[in-house]
Chain A
Amino acid sequence: MDDALVLDRLQKRFAGHVAVRELTLRVPRGTIYGLLGPNGAGKSTTIRMALAILARDGGTVRLLGADPAENREILRRVGYLPEERGLYKKMRVLDVMVFFAELKGMDRRAARAAAERWLERLGLPEWGRQKVQALSKGMQQKVQFAVTVLHRPELVFLDEPTSGLDPINQELLREVIEELRAAGTTVVLSTHNMEQAEELCSHVAILARGEKVLDGDLAALKRVHRTDEVRLWLDDGATPPWSELGAAVRQAQPERDGSWTVRLAADDALPAFLAWLAERHLPVRRLERREPRLRELYVARVGGTATTAGRRPDEAP
């Protein structure tokens, strides 16, 4: 598949500190790609290098097929919502939106029309003529989101887009991000919110201490890292004769909703378990092989490597 972003052995070093080490990533077009990792893992630095905001010390960047450090025109087709946000406080909301859209090469009139549409979509239609400073923090955040996507970019970098928003607005942005993806936009989503990433992302990369510890198609990753647990729902709420299975089942534990969590003795024991269920004519309503949650993958991979102390590496020169 054609990739929207390819990073190859990307490297960034600040004084006495490696912020990003030999990072290689491929972000397929039309996907929502989660860039995950603890504070100081190098996510923001990676995004800034990908956008040529920061000069890289090594490696290559192909952004929509071009190196943005050499071909800045390519950045017109990209949107970027930084983690620390800011707008011109004394400008009117519509003016600030049109300003950023024009910088991306949009026609003034078209930009204005698009800005009005986005304000409508984000529930701020009556705020266009107000000054930015009159808006609440959450409203400003939504305006900034609109600024990021107003010019219909092919690739969008969203750094913690929902942090600080209430649940309703988080849900609104989640819907909008889904809509963007459905329209063919590639989204790189940097976040700490594992539930959100799991819900939205088709691909993820987990970074820790500037290095990639896991990446790929999320469904495939879950399959690869699946557990030996199944969840079983029976119609009559009966207790199956687990003892018949002997050593094939390590543990069978009832859940509050009447279902059972069954831990099989081995990963390949599932066919035998299914055959046993059929043989006993147990009234199976639903059976689910439990895949690991993204949070579990994250914790298992990042574990104790999370950086907690010291200067934010991406703030150094």
Chain B
Amino acid sequence: MSELGVILRREWKERVFSRTFFLSTVLTPLFFVFVAAVPVLATRWEGRRQMTLVIVDEAPPGVAAAVAARLPSRPPAGRRGVWFRTETVHRPLAQVRAGLEARVRRQEIDAFLWLSPTVVAGGPVTLWARNPAGEAAEQIRAAVTEAVQRHRLTAAGIDPAEVARLLAPVRFETLQVTRQGTRTVGPALALAFLLTFVLYFLTLTYGMQAMQSAQEERTNRIAEILATSVRPSRLLLGKVLGVAGAALVQIGAWLAMGWVAFRLIDAWRGSLLPVPPGFLAELRAALLQPMALGFVAFALVGFLLYSTLFAALGATTDTPEEAQRFFWVLFLPLVIPMVLQGALLQDPAGPLAQVLTWVPLTAPLLVPFRLALDAIPTGQAAAAFAWTALAVAGLAWVAGKIYRIGILSTGQSLTWRNLRQWLRAA
């Protein structure tokens, strides 16, 4: 086996056959599923409960009764939801407010609602509750709005049912016209976020591993022995490719887990997670589109770039603390496309996106994002790739020089001055 192969295999084996690798492969997707699913499931599992509401009625006759009538008074059919037991008090608020607040505090009632005398003309309606931001408060607001609107319509001699029919909402749908066809935006958007995040996560994680590996070889003086067997540039290449190989295994494992998850979600759709019909099919289709090729190409280039740069950082520092001082130089361009995702989403072909597309350190994460949204012409993506690959080759060459000098210069800490010296000496 060639020396490059020997280095590559060692780097790969050290990562893949470790407990940390196994745990991160299994636990990382579970962690993200947990983070994504818990809020959804938590609201779903709020359960069924009855709410006691006192209506302080100073409104024109009929309004309070209409409000009460619009609130559900029986348990809902599903596994969750709120229903109300209402009492109406026909006295001024000032007389009953203190007493009702005390009852809320004692948890004898959950809330009280004041309908002011001028409610129909736009006067105030106020809800006092222990939790005025929950689903129940939203139901009460909707009931009051509807009751008041119907009152106004009736007073104006208009049939509320007719108005409701006339003002029924339209079914508005957004479709994206892409080079490959027309599609809904949801799956593409989900894919763009997911892929960019996975790329960011892998680049950072494995870049750090390349850094630690180079640091170990520098501080343990292993590099000195290696230097009598293999050129530092080959050592760096073997290291980066070995790390990339480990990342591929992890991606493969995640794809397999994703496939299983697809099947499970398909089977349990609607009962466990709110997945719209057709979403999974469109997500599959989006994954298989030609843009996947672009994504893989940029992912590869970005991965090689950052692994090389991180390895160079490791080769020039003795401790993680020392590396930390220069870490931001690499971390910042990596994180920019993540931080600006919101702004980029508003205009994925706008000036900001255009500029970052041509910056080699941000392109590997940004262009896949734009590709997933079909917001970059093929020609521009290809040109950006060629430019990024060229710049990456140049940067990797410089990083290789730094690596070669740095890895054998133990006792010399990384400073801007030393960096300049090493580059001159390289």
Contacts and interface: CB of A to CB of B under 8 A. Distances in A.
A317 B418 contact: yes
A128 B224 CA distance: 23
Given A103-B230, A317-B425, A82 B6 contact: no
Contacts of A100: 225, 229
Interface string A78-120: 1010101111111100000001101110001000000000000
A19 interface: no
A77 B266 CA distance: 61
Nearest to B410: A315
B6 A102 contact: yes
A89 B213 CA distance: 11
Contact of B216 (A48, A88, A103, A108): A88
Contacts of A108: 1
A102 B216 CA distance: 20
Interface string A45-77: 000100111100000000000000000100110
A147 B225 contact: yes
A289 interface: no
A78 B229 CA distance: 9
Nearest to B418: A317
Contact of B229 (A104, A311, A317): A104
Nearest to A54: B408
Nearest to A78: B228
A88 B13 CA distance: 13
Given A72-B231, A85-B221, A317-B425, A99 B6 contact: yes
Contacts of A86: 219-222
A92 B257 CA distance: 31
B222 A53 contact: no
B272 interface: no
Contacts, number: 72
A1 interface: no
Nearest to B1: A102
Contacts of A99: 6, 10
A78 B6 CA distance: 18
A317 B412 contact: yes
A312 interface: yes
A130 to B, nearest CB: 16
B228 A53 contact: yes
Interface residues of A, number: 31
Given A99-B10, A317-B425, A88 B410 contact: no
A224 interface: no
B317 to A, nearest CB: 15
A108 B227 CA distance: 20
A300 interface: no
Contact of B222 (A48, A78, A88, A104): A88
Contacts of B126: none
A70 to B, nearest CB: 13
A316 interface: yes
Contacts of A51: 227-228
B411 to A, nearest CB: 4
A315 B412 contact: yes
B220 A87 contact: yes
Given A53-B408, A88-B216, A108-B1, A103 B6 contact: yes
Contacts of A89: 216, 220
B14 A90 contact: yes
Q: Is the interface of B mostly helix, strand, loop or mixed?
A: helix
Interface in A283-317: 311-312, 315-317
Contacts of B225: 80, 82, 100, 147
A259 to B, nearest CB: 48
B128 interface: no
A80 B228 contact: yes
Nearest to B224: A82
A25 B226 CA distance: 25
A54 B405 CA distance: 9
A48 B1 CA distance: 26
A48 B228 CA distance: 9
B421 A317 contact: yes
B411 A315 contact: yes
Nearest to B412: A317
A54 B224 CA distance: 10
Nearest to B409: A317
Contacts of B408: 53-54
A78 B226 CA distance: 12
A71 to B, nearest CB: 13
B216 A82 contact: no
Interface string B342-385: 00000000000000000000000000000000000000000000
Interface string B232-249: 000000000000000000
Interface in B174-229: 216, 219-222, 224-229
Nearest to B406: A317
Contacts of A88: 10, 14, 216, 220, 222
A51 B18 CA distance: 34
A99 B225 CA distance: 12
B224 A53 contact: yes
Contacts of B7: 103
Given A85-B221, A102-B6, A315-B411, A75 B228 contact: yes
A48 B7 CA distance: 22
Interface of A: 48, 51-54, 72, 75-76, 78, 80, 82, 84-91, 99-100, 102-104, 108, 147, 311-312, 315-317
Given A75-B229, A87-B222, 6 more contacts: A48-B224, A53-B224, A82-B221, A99-B10, A104-B229, A311-B411
24 contacts: A51-B227, A54-B408, A75-B228, A75-B229, A80-B225, A82-B221, A84-B221, A86-B221, A87-B220, A88-B222, A89-B216, A99-B6, A99-B10, A102-B1, A102-B6, A103-B3, A103-B6, A103-B226, A103-B230, A312-B411, A315-B409, A315-B412, A317-B405, A317-B425
Closest 5 CB pairs of A and B: A86-B220, A103-B229, A315-B411, A86-B221, A84-B221
